[in-house]
Every structure is written in structure tokens, then in C-alpha cells.
A and B are shown apart, each in its own frame.
Chain A
Amino acid sequence: AQSVTQPDARVTVSEGASLQLRCKYSYSGTPYLFWYVQYPRQGLQLLLKYYSGDPVVQGVNGFEAEFSKSNSSFHLRKASVHWSDSAVYFCVLSAGNTEGADRLTFGKGTQLIIQP
């Protein structure tokens, strides 16, 4: 069985500062990994995804994430946050089931609060 752990329920960062949101996964196979963001009163939106290849993947709005197989991690980073980045961020794992429709395993989410 797979699982995703986001150890920080809430992270507070000053505007303009750098950011790292942590994500650890557990899965015996090769995972597909995603970061989704949920703004207030909106649906989840994909920030970035990792399937294979370069372990550092670039996403929208200056976000990037680094896959580490040895650490079973997929941390999200941004060099300089903006107040509009305030949202809940979900780390998500897919087992890549090609035999049928896929199911995703979600972390509990990290609420990002940007201080002025």
C-alpha cells in the first residue's frame, strides 16, 4: 500500500522569503508524484508533476520540486513567495496503474500562510 506524508500542517513564511514544503512517500514501485494547490473556494490545480528523468521538475508560478528516491521525498520549493501563494498544497502519489483508471493517494495538505 502506498502513503504520502506531509509533516507540516501549516507553514508561515514572510513575503519574498524562500519556501520549502516537505513531502515523504511510501511506495514499493516507481511513483508518479504531483503537487496540487487549492486556493480558497476553488478546485485543486496541478502545480507540477514528476514521472521520470530529471529529478528537479519545474512548475507554474516559479514552483519547483525535487524527487529523491533515496529519501523517498518530493519536496516543493519556491525562491521568493508572493502573498497570492497563500493556499493549501497537496502532495499526491499515483501508482500509475495502467490496467484501469488510476487512483491517487493524497497527503493531508500543508496550509501556506504568507505574512506581509
Chain B
Amino acid sequence: GPKVLQIPSHQIIDMGQMVTLNCDPVSNHLYFYWYKQILGQQMEFLVNFYNGKVMEKSKLFKDQFSVERPDGSYFTLKIQPTALEDSAVYFCASSLVVTGQLYFGEGSKLTVL
């Protein structure tokens, strides 16, 4: 079936550095999402993105976070600067329509030291 690819699968960085998580969504999908899952906790919504704009973001989407999808390439989540509490697995998802099925990637595990 359709696949969402995430790169990298795991990244370890020092606190204060910048990190970019990349997502290659399903090719004809229009809506894109990032979710955050801290180990042992609930998956939580960060942000959704449509037509080049952030449509909605949660309180977890701090000012240090940004998303973009330049020229229809990767959908990226950038964190600058990173903090210890940013350590988590970040899941990208995409959907074709607003209430359609979401397809999730395998997650990018971020460890901030």
C-alpha cells in the first residue's frame, strides 16, 4: 500500500543544535501532519499543513518548531534550537482528503543530549 517515508530513523544531537526531520508523504496526498510520541506516553498532535500553510498547531508546537514543504519535496519539521524535552519519536502522516485515512511513517527517533 501507500507508504510514508521518514528520514532519518534515528538522530542523536546535542542540546541547542538544529535538527531537520524529513518526511516523504504519499505522492498524491494533500494534507500533512506531525505527531510526537514521548516514550511510554500518548501520541500527540503537533501540527497539520495544507496548501503550503500551517492550518492548525498544538501548544506542543513551540516557537522553535517550523514546518515547510518547499516545491512539493520533503515535508520537513525543523527544531532550532533543540531542548532536552524534544527527545521523542516524531511521526509524519499524510492524507488525501480532510477526513481521509492517515498514512503514517515509521517515525524518527530524536535523542537530545
Chain A residues engaging chain B, CB cutoff 8 angstroms: 32, 36, 41-46, 49, 51, 90, 94, 96-98, 100-109
Other contacts beyond A44-B91, A101-B50: 14, CB < 8 A: A43-B6, A43-B91, A90-B43, A96-B99, A98-B98, A100-B50, A100-B55, A100-B56, A104-B45, A105-B45, A106-B35, A106-B43, A107-B42, A108-B42
**Main secondary structure on chain B at its contact with chain A?**
strand
B8 to chain A, nearest CB (A): 14
User: CB within 8 A of B56: which of A46, A101, A106?
Assistant: A101
B13-21, B69-77, B78-86, B101-109: which lies at the A interface?
Answer: B101-109
Q: How far, in angstroms, from A59 to B80 measured CA to CA in the complex?
A: 41
B45 touches A100 (CB 8 A): no
B33 touches A101 (CB 8 A): yes
Chain B residues engaging chain A, CB cutoff 8 angstroms: 4, 6, 31-33, 35, 41-45, 48-50, 55-56, 58, 91, 93, 95, 98-99, 101-107
B57 to chain A, nearest CB (A): 9
User: CB within 8 A of A46: which of B45, B91, B98, B101?
Assistant: B101
Report the number of A-B residue pairs with Cβ-Cβ less than 8 Å: 65
B37 to chain A, nearest CB (A): 9
25 CB contacts below 8 A, A to B, read A41-B106, A43-B4, A43-B103, A43-B106, A44-B93, A46-B101, A96-B99, A98-B99, A100-B50, A100-B55, A100-B98, A101-B32, A101-B33, A101-B48, A101-B95, A102-B31, A102-B98, A103-B33, A103-B58, A105-B45, A106-B42, A106-B44, A108-B41, A108-B42, A109-B43
Q: Which 6 A-B pairs have the closest CB atoms?
A: A101-B48, A44-B104, A106-B43, A43-B104, A100-B55, A43-B106
**Main secondary structure on chain A at its contact with chain B?**
loop
Q: How far, in angstroms, from A77 to B16 measured CA to CA in the complex?
A: 46
Residue of B nearest to A6 (CB): B42
A102 touches B48 (CB 8 A): yes
A32 to chain B, nearest CB (A): 6
Q: How far, in angstroms, from A46 to B103 measured CA to CA in the complex?
A: 8
